Amino acid sequence: MNKFLLLVLILFFCKNEKKIFSFLTVNEKYTKEIDVIQDKSQKYNSLFKKNPDFIATSFDYPVGKPNAKGYYDAQKFKENNHLGNDWNGLGGGNTDHGDSIYAIANGYVSFAKDIEGGWGKVIRIIHKYKGKYYESIYAHCNSIGVKEADFVKKGALIATIGNANGMYLAHLHLEIRDNIYMDIGRGYAKNTSGYLDPTKFINKN
């Protein structure tokens, strides 16, 4: 390599050092995310292969089993950029505090924990349905009756309705996702990629 070309390369690297390292960092992060998705996919494939009785065959509502009798959707999907449904008892206020929450379908509990803040106690369930994976999320719970790594059947009592440790009036925030690899998120966003309208999905399936 001649001295002139070497000098050009040195100057280019110095001028673009931040961009190059930024690209490498982003690429490394992307690669790690892909690895995590592949690991989780293999894990769920293996779990449901070993436990075929917990593959979902249909879906019901999470309250007023099975058809949400006695409840209404107080904030629908996409309303105010909402990413789920807010299920409230017809009595309003905190009249539904402590009411039963049911698994909407057979599945695997991937998360069950109090994460505090605006989410409170949260349950996340992975469903394998017609060869695809879906996730249901139940938030603001008062109590949790399942633990991570449990398998559940449709209609099983998994939690009770809460108010996120006093942050809201009691209700159940329900989300259904067709991208099961996202983090918990914020519950509101203009971009609904990865999220499904829970009511439409349950009615259809």
Q: Is residue 28 scored above 70 in pLDDT?
A: no
* pLDDT for the residue 33: 57
Output the DSSP codes for 77-131. Answer: TTGGGBSSEEEEETT-TTTTTT-EEE-SSSEEEEEEEE--TTT-EEEEEEEEETT
Angstrom distance (rounded) from CA 133 to CA 102:
19
- Between CA 96 and CA 140 the distance in angstroms is 12
pTM: 0.83
In sign, the C-alpha dihedral spanning 161, 112, 121, 60 is negative
List the one residue out of 106, 167, 112 whose CA is nearest residue 134. 106
Report pLDDT digits (tens) over 149-188: 999 999 999 999 999 989 999 999 999 999 999 999 999 9
Span 53-82, pLDDT tens digits? 999 999 999 999 999 999 999 999 999 999
The set of residues, in sequence order, having a beta carbon less than 8 Å from that of 200 and lying 6+ positions away, is 77
Characterize the bridge pairing of strands 151-152 and 143-144.
Answer: unpaired
Cis amide linkage into residue 62, ω under 30° from 0: no
8 pLDDT higher than 70:
no
Q: Are 136 and 112 in contact (CB under 8 A)?
A: no
Q: Is 34 helix (H, G, I), strand (E, B) or coil?
A: helix
Token pair belonging to 46: 């293996």
Q: Which of 35-39, 134-138, 160-164 is least confident?
A: 35-39
